[in-house]
Amino acid sequence: MELRQVRYFVMVAQELHFGRAAEKLHIVQSAVSQQIRRLERELRTELFDRSARQVRLTAVGERFLPEARALLAAEQRARAVVAELTAGCAATLRVGTSTGLGAHLDRVLETLAGLAPEIRVELVAAPARERLARVASGGLDAAFLRGEPHDAERDGLRFVPLWQDPLVAVVPARHPLAASPGTVALAALASVPLVLTARRNNRALVDLVVDACHGAGFTPAPGPAYGSLDDTLTAIGAAGASDGLWTVVYASHAARLSTPRVAFLPFRTPGMELTTSLAVRRTDPPAGAEQLLRACEPARLTDDGAGSDLDR
């Protein structure tokens, strides 16, 4: 078994598509397929069910996946140890992030640099489930997460609430709602198709928005799917005033976007926000984790929210 094969397996398991996995690995699809076939021959079992139209993990593949991630995490830890010993470099914190943390992340990193200038921070972008799995296995030292994790994702981790991330509506700049100053009520968007990522990509966000629409008395009409937020904003900006589209972004992200063809409107409806937390391991926390938590403390929720006890 080669680590390269394990790495390819994890990427295909994440994407459930050989072509997309190959693109992310920057190699040809045939090389991915060939190496995974070799891995399956080595293990004497199939890891993927290729009979259906969609690639799926077999039962063995499902069980092998966390062990494969642990192997890759062990490789990263071994490399980090050697790098520190041979180069004498300072401690490195590997922190999982997501889009749109904006000024919050800037503030945390600036505070950490003042508290512990010897600590270098490596930011790693990954889907939420992968971030938490990598923290649990040691592949990451901590990770930011918006919304509540699944019960299964809590094993071995503690979640420290940090701040609230409010959402804003995104509509075409030519839409009548964009001409109205102030906030927008969800009910005013009832007839406009909503563009959201798939629920599997961001369960907390999708559930919040859809449930809020139901609470406002309507089921959102689904808009077309786009491959990225940039594509979504471009499509919304190009939509006409009468047949527009809408989506949501975090206010902290909207503050950094320069897209004059769309308008960002704060919600009048209460509760359109998600709590951002920092996930760390409960046992054997890495060096620097406590300093990172202390750097987050100025932005922590107050006692009427989450309190200020770092050990909670």
Q: What is the pLDDT of residues 242-283, one digit of tens each?
A: 668 999 999 988 888 878 889 999 999 888 999 999 999 988
The rounded distance, in Å, linking the Cα atoms of 304 and 219 is 32
- 300 compared with 38, residue with greater pLDDT: 38
Q: Reduced to 3 states, what is the DSSP secondary structure of residue 150?
A: coil
Q: Is the pLDDT of residue 178 over 70?
A: yes
Q: How far is CA 201 from the centre of its chain?
A: 8
Q: 55: closest CA among 10, 85, 12?
A: 12
Give the model's pLDDT for residue 306: 37
Alpha helical stretches, state H, 45-200:
59-87, 102-115, 128-137, 176-179
What span, in angstroms and rounded, lies between the C-alpha atoms of 14 and 72?
14
More confident site: 158 or 312: 158
The span from the CA of 312 to the CA of 300, in Å, is: 13
Structure token digits, residue 83:
């790098």
User: If you average pLDDT over every residue of the chain, what do you get?
Assistant: 85
CA distances from 26 to 8, 21, 185 (A): 11, 9, 44
The sign of the CA dihedral 228, 234, 238, 241 is positive
Residue 242 is predicted with a pLDDT of 67
53 against 196, higher pLDDT: 196
Q: pLDDT at position 88, please?
A: 45
| Residue labelled with tokens 């139901």 | 214
Residue 305 has pLDDT above 50, yes or no: no
Listed in sequence order, the residues at least 6 apart from 227 whose beta carbon sits closer than 8 Å to its beta carbon are none
* CB contact set of 175 (below 8 Å; sequence gap of 6+): 192, 241, 244, 263
Identify the bridge partners of residue 161 per DSSP, sorted by sequence position.
Answer: 277
Cα angle: 117, vertex 121, 124; to 5 degrees: 170
Are 152 and 123 within 8 A, CB to CB?
Answer: no
pLDDT band at 201 (very low <50, low <70, confident <90, very high): confident
Confidence of residue 89 (pLDDT cuts 50, 70, 90): very low
> What per-residue confidence (pLDDT) applies to 108?
92
Q: Is the pLDDT of residue 309 over 70?
A: no
Q: Average of pLDDT values for 132-142?
A: 91
**Separation between Cα atoms, residue 274 and residue 204, nearest integer Å:** 8
CA 246 to chain CA centroid, nearest Å:
21
DSSP 152: G
